[in-house]
């Protein structure tokens, strides 16, 4: 039984020496295998993974590779386990850890920065300069589970204590997996964007980040919050999460003009761009007022033409976000704990861990209009029947 030297365990949470884990083979190929249960080091804990949500970036990693960086290159055929939006229970603690106790339920951030580079010392650990330098003889301390180190499509994983977010007992596993998504929206709007109450926001693209971006913006006091997209059922969820107005761009010949009409004839203060449509950036920079800000939370796979002259002449700020830095996830969890918004509205499907390929298919092909698909290592009989 699992008992590494220097690691604190508990008879209440017996841990095996090996675990079931999905491993990435060729592009699009996942294999269920056995792996050793990892061992937490100083300032780390072992997490029993209870649930993990599938992100669009997981699909990029599984089918294409980037932004994962394993052993300095593509992640395929390297015994790598993807998956990064997870929650679970602390079942063992590394040397010196007293910030979290065994048996505590937690959600996790993706990134643990090296703590040494310029960006980490600014609190921007998702932009760590040592991203990916954590294999072999080169160990700078950076870890991004599911991107540069093994992720969560398995039964146990190691996390640095800086990535943990304590969650209340009455928060469901499924809701807890969404804290990272809400934290990403929070990071873009507040830490990097500087949003304050009363400012106006457009969210383009009603995917998971876009929908929770609506919820976060409204909870922060933005007015109005406008959501644009192409799917009426998702726009309806946006209204339920706090959007003041929604625009189906398939029914609106000039979405920029429509936004300005809804905002008293002028551009908004912020656009949170979550659609990744090639034309979205130019639409976004024309939706904001002079001196406004555009946050890029998604990106097209191909290069996009941008009207730089319009940006410069109107003093418009454009910035990108990578994950959920500066502990924004903790603030997102606080809003969810207080029931400021119901993140579960974007959770649509749950599957057991052994059915991960099916869950991936639902997320990739949007089967039954899937939005957030969750995989659980321990799933109830009722949930299993519903998934099937």
| Domain-wise residue ranges, the chain | 18-110+145-177+342-387, 182-320
Q: Can you tell me the mean pLDDT for 359-368? A: 97
Is residue 382 very low, low, confident or very high in pLDDT (cuts 50, 70, 90)?
A: very low
- The rounded distance, in Å, linking the Cα atoms of 114 and 120 is 7
Q: What is the pLDDT of residue 140?
A: 72
18-110+145-177+342-387 shares its CATH topology with 182-320: no
User: Confidence band (pLDDT; 50, 70, 90) for 379?
Assistant: low
Give how far Cα 365 sits from Cα of 97, 211, 358, 360, Å.
Answer: 42, 19, 10, 8
Let me know: does 185 contact 329? Beta carbons within 8 Å: no
pLDDT for 135: 54
Would you say residue 252 has pLDDT above 60? yes
pLDDT at residue 387 above 60? no
pLDDT value, residue 136 = 53
Residues 6 or more apart whose Cβ sits within 8 Å of residue 105: 50, 87, 88, 89, 166, 167, 169, 171, 176
- pLDDT tens digits, 260-318: 999 999 999 999 999 999 889 999 999 999 999 999 999 777 888 899 999 999 999 99
Q: How far is CA 326 from CA 8, 284, 349, in A?
A: 29, 25, 30
Quick check: 65 and 74 in contact, CB under 8 A?
A: yes
pLDDT score for 138:
56
Q: Quick check: 118 pLDDT over 80?
A: yes
Q: How far, in Å, are 98, 203, 307, 339, 382 from residue 334 at the CA level? A: 22, 22, 39, 9, 30
pLDDT at 141: 76
167-199 confidence digits (pLDDT tens): 999 999 999 999 999 999 999 999 999 999 999
pLDDT at 237: 98
**Separation of alpha carbons 294 and 169, rounded Å:** 37
How confident is residue 134, by pLDDT bands cut at 50, 70 and 90?
low
Rounded-to-integer distance, Cα 232 and Cα 238, Å: 10
Q: 354 pLDDT band (50/70/90 cuts)?
A: very high
Are 39 and 49 a contacting pair, CB within 8 Å?
A: no
What's the CA gap between 84 and 322, in Å, rounded?
A: 13
More confident residue, 384 or 19: 19
Distance, CA of 223 to CA of 199 (rounded, Å): 6
pLDDT per residue as tens digits for the range 217-232: 999 999 999 999 999 9
Domain 182-320 listed as CATH 3.40.50.720: yes
Predicted TM-score (pTM) of the model is 0.93
Q: Nearest Cα to 287, choosing from 260, 309, 313, 310?
A: 260
Does residue 202 surpass a pLDDT of 90? yes
> How many Cα atoms within 13 Å fall on the side-chain side of residue 219?
27
CA angle 109, 220, 247 (to 5 degrees): 95
* Average pLDDT of the chain, as a whole number: 93
CATH for 18-110+145-177+342-387? Answer: 3.90.180.10
Cα dihedral 142, 145, 146, 149 sign = positive
Q: What is the per-residue pLDDT for 299?
A: 79
Rounded percentage of the chain residues whose pLDDT exceeds 90: 84
pLDDT score of 385: 46
Q: Which residue has the higher pLDDT, 279 or 365?
A: 365
3-state secondary structure the chain: CCCCCCCECECCECCCCEEEEEEECCCCCEEEEEEECCCCCCCEEEEEEEEEECCHHHHHHHHCCCCCCECCECCCCCCECCCCEEEEEEEEECCCCCCCCCCCEEEECCEECCCCCHHHHCCCHHHCCCCCCEECCEECCCEEECCCECCCCECEEEEEHHHEEECCCCCCHHHHCCHHHHHHHHHHHHHCCCCCCCCCEEEECCCHHHHHHHHHHHHCCCCCEEEEECCHHHHHHHHHCCCCEEEECCCCCCHHHHHHHHCCCCCEEEEEECCCCCCHHHHHHHHEEEEEEEEECCCCCCCCCCCHHHHHHCCCEEEECCCCCCCHHHHHHHHHHCCCCCHHHHEEEEEEHHHHHHHHHHHHHCHHHCCEEEEECCCCHHHHHHHC
């Amino acid at each position: 039984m699992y008992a590494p030297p220097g690691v604190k365990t508990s008879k209440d949470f017996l841990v095996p020496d090996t675990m079931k884990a999905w491993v990435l083979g060729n592009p699009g190929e996942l294999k269920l295998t056995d792996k050793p249960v990892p061992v937490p080091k100083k300032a780390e804990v072992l997490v029993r993974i209870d649930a993990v949500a599938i992100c669009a970036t997981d699909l990029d990693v599984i089918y294409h590779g980037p932004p994962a960086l394993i052993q300095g290159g593509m992640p395929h055929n390297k015994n790598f386990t993807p998956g990064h939006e997870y929650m679970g229970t602390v079942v063992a603690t590394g040397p010196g850890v007293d910030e979290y106790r065994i048996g505590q339920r937690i959600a996790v951030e993706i990134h643990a920065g090296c703590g040494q580079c310029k960006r980490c010392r600014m609190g921007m650990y998702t932009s760590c300069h040592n991203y990916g330098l954590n294999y072999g003889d080169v160990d700078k301390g950076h870890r991004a589970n599911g991107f540069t180190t093994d992720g969560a499509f398995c039964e146990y994983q190691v996390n640095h204590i800086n990535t943990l977010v304590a969650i209340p007992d009455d928060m469901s596993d499924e809701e807890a997996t969404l804290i990272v998504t809400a934290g990403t929206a929070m990071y873009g709007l507040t830490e990097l964007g500087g949003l304050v109450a009363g400012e106006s926001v457009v969210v383009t693209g009603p995917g998971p980040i876009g929908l929770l971006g609506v919820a976060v913006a409204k909870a922060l006091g933005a007015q109005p919050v406008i959501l644009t997209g192409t799917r009426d059922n998702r726009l309806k969820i946006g209204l339920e999460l706090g959007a003041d107005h929604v625009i189906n761009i398939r029914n609106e010949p000039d979405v920029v003009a429509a936004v300005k009409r809804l905002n008293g004839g002028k551009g908004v203060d912020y656009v949170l761009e979550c659609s990744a449509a090639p034309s979205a950036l130019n639409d976004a920079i024309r939706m904001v007022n002079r001196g406004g800000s555009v946050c890029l939370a998604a990106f097209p796979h191909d290069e996009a033409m941008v009207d730089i002259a319009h940006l410069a002449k109107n003093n418009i700020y454009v910035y990108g976000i990578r994950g959920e830095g500066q502990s924004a996830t903790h603030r997102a969890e606080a809003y969810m704990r207080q029931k400021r918004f119901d993140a579960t509205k974007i959770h649509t499907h749950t599957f057991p861990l052994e059915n991960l390929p099916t869950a991936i298919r639902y997320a990739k092909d949007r089967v039954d209009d899937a939005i957030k698909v969750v995989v659980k290592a321990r799933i109830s009989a009722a949930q299993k029947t519903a998934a099937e």
